[in-house]
Amino acid sequence: MKLEETSYAGFWLRLFSGIIDTLILWIPSSIFGWIFQGKFENSSLFAFLDFIQLLLIWMAYYGITEGSTHQATLGKRVLSLKVVNEDGTRLDFPKAALRILVGTFVAIPLGLGIIAIGFTKRKQGWHDIILQCLVIKK
């Protein structure tokens, strides 16, 4: 793949694919809360465990889908996008799973790590830059 001729996926396409993926993940991510919310005396412990299970579900989903031969989550597939390493190769499961974890943390400072997608030459967020990934149009 010649990356010089590649069309990068911009902020809005990536936002819409993320919305689709969020809707897909809403049910499995909510099951923990439906089952366990009233069973914890300590609400901060529940909040922590809920955050951990959310990360694990999302890391598994992104690791499996973006590390697959499709190289895309279901949301990205709907919009004809895929995630590649900067050299154009497919991500492996660990890197794809780590990408969503890093993406979660770069969004914390006012969303700047995600907003960067709209302002960088290859439309990369900080998590893409850190892990040397690109989101491209098929």
Query: Rounded to whole angstroms, how far apart are CA atoms 82 and 1?
Result: 13
Q: How far apart are CA 26 and CA 133, in angstroms?
A: 26
Q: List, for residues 67-83, the tens digit of each pLDDT value.
A: 999 999 999 999 999 99
Residue-by-residue DSSP string for 86-109 = TTSPPPPHHHHHHHHHHHHHHTTT
Query: Which residues span the domain enclosing 69?
Result: 3-137
Confirm if 91 and 71 have CB atoms less than 8 A apart: yes
Give the total number of structural domains in the chain.
1
Among residues 78, 55, 60, 76, the alpha carbon closest in space to that of 135 is found at 76
Give the pTM: 0.89
Regions of the chain where pLDDT drops below 70:
1-5
